[in-house]
């Protein structure tokens, strides 16, 4: 039986893999080339890999005997290889993977290929002979758009007892996230000439009353972990010409439900305050809030491994929702401020810290022990061994 490594994983190897992945454009729906490069990288380091659609599923199965009375456990590390389109405002090549001033630049460097690279480095260094459980990786597509990512392949994964979802949190530990409600309020008026408004019904006036009523809604108390539920009017479309009384006005809404004001309750409150001339059209309500207790084992293990030690709610929506059947946290290198932005970047020190943190989580949760005489190698030594 061959042993790949009993030493700490290489942060430098993760940085080099991250550079390679950033140089491969992988906008949602176009991840095949990045998928194949990542799968080859893992296979080349002895990790068992399965390609499912545009997803990379990998597994390191421990070969050690479990202590008497101890159940073999599984841990899932999940992040995404797809990125959003580049858009305007860039001042350097978005696919360069350039390193400057302690940062790695490029689309996806922050969200979330740095998490992917760190997770892959941990799996590549984990010695199967040193533990009795399994480490599972799901490095998936379509997180940004939904579709054929973890929601499509989650049932292909082996059983696990906890998960870590890689998203830019500055390595804070996030054991929950708010939900997502997308809806529109359509105010139905009656068109007329603007010089004779008494002959019609101004839909913009009706929508304005709806907006004020929505703004005044009491959505309940703030969640101690996730913060307040919110429902915001974000886009308004009404009218066709300056001299025509608008017959319809559409107000688009962004809602962020919490466990106490969940999707169903938020919708009921919304429908209760709009006017009789208006209708509520729901576009998406499938993402419900997810939260586990801050005393859950995976939270405690992740907090101990985090360089910040902070526990908070995740500010956006992630694949944690699709993995809600097991206790999980969102935790990864980078900052949300750089996500989807021009000149996206991630700090190199964050990538190195993520490798250390993910490795500590895996070792603690899976009960990994060091082989006798094994020591930790430097990044340079590990990089040479991997070349």
pLDDT in tens, 331-385: 999 999 999 999 999 999 999 999 999 999 999 999 987 654 444 444 443 433 3
> So what's the pLDDT on residue 386?
38
> So what's the pLDDT on residue 73?
95
For the cut 70, the answer to whether the pLDDT of residue 288 exceeds it is yes
> So what's the pLDDT on residue 370?
65
Average the pLDDT over 241-256 and give the result: 97
Stretch(es) of the chain classified as CATH 3.30.70.360: 180-287
CATH T-level topology, domain 180-287: Alpha-Beta Plaits (3.30.70)
Q: Over the stretch 176-218, which tens digit does the pLDDT of each residue have? A: 999 999 999 999 999 999 999 999 999 999 999 999 999 999 9
Q: Are 321 and 287 in contact (CB under 8 A)?
A: yes
d(CA 21, CA 116) in angstroms, rounded, equals 9
> So what's the pLDDT on residue 383?
38
In the CATH scheme, what is the code of domain 11-177+290-386?
3.40.630.10
DSSP assignment, residue 113? I
Q: Are 283 and 182 in contact (CB under 8 A)?
A: yes
The two tokens of residue 239 are 């009218």
pTM assigned to the model: 0.90
Residue 125 falls in which region: left (phi positive, over 0), alpha (psi -120 to 50) or beta: alpha
Average pLDDT, the chain: 93
> So what's the pLDDT on residue 2?
40
Average the pLDDT over 109-122 and give the result: 97
CA atoms within 13 A on the CB side of 251: 27
> So what's the pLDDT on residue 7?
62
In percent, the amount of the chain with pLDDT more than 70 equals 94
Stretch(es) of the chain classified as CATH 3.40.630.10: 11-177+290-386
d(CA 217, CA 278) in angstroms, rounded, equals 17
Average the pLDDT over 140-169 and give the result: 96
Neighbours of 291 (CB within 10 A): 19
d(CA 83, CA 25) in angstroms, rounded, equals 8
In 3D space, the residue among 118, 225, 227 whose CA is nearest the CA of residue 173 turns out to be: 225
> So what's the pLDDT on residue 69?
72
Q: Over the stretch 33-58, which tens digit does the pLDDT of each residue have? A: 999 999 999 999 999 999 999 999 99
């Amino acid at each position: 039986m061959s042993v790949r490594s009993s030493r700490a994983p290489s942060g430098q190897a993760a940085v080099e893999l991250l550079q390679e992945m950033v140089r491969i454009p992988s906008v949602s729906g176009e991840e095949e080339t990045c998928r194949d490069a990542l799968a080859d990288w893992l296979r080349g380091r002895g990790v068992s890999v399965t390609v499912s659609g545009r997803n990379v599923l990998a597994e390191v199965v421990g070969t050690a005997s479990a202590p008497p009375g101890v159940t073999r456990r599984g841990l899932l590390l999940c992040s995404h290889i797809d990125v959003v389109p580049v858009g305007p405002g860039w001042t350097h090549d978005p696919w360069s993977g350039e390193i400057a001033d302690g940062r790695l630049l490029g689309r996806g460097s922050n969200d979330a290929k740095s998490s992917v690279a760190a997770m892959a480095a941990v799996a590549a260094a984990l010695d199967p002979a040193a533990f009795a459980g399994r480490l599972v990786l799901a490095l998936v597509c379509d997180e940004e758009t939904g579709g054929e990512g973890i929601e499509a392949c989650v049932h292909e994964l082996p059983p696990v007892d906890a998960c870590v979802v890689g998203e830019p949190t500055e390595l804070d530990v996030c054991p929950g996230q708010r939900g997502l409600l997308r809806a529109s309020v359509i105010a139905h008026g009656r068109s007329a000439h603007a010089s004779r408004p008494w002959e019609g019904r101004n839909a913009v006036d009706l929508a304005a009353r709806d907006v004020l009523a929505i703004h005044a809604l009491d959505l309940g108390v703030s969640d101690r972990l996730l913060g307040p539920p919110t429902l915001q009017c974000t886009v308004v479309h009404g009218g066709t010409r300056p001299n025509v009384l608008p017959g319809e006005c559409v107000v688009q809404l962004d809602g962020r439900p919490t466990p106490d004001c969940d999707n169903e309750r938020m919708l009921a409150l919304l429908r209760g305050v709009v006017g009789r001339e208006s209708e509520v059209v729901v576009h998406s309500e499938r993402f419900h809030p997810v939260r586990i207790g801050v005393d859950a084992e995976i939270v405690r293990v992740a907090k101990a491994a985090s360089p910040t030690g902070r526990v908070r709610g995740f500010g956006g929506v992630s694949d944690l929702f699709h993995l809600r059947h097991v206790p999980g946290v969102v935790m990864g290198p980078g900052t949300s401020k750089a996500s989807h932005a021009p000149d996206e970047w991630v700090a190199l020190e964050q990538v190195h810290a993520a490798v250390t943190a993910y490795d500590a989580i895996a070792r603690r949760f899976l009960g990994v022990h060091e082989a006798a005489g094994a020591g930790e190698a430097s990044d340079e030594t590990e990089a040479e061994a991997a070349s």
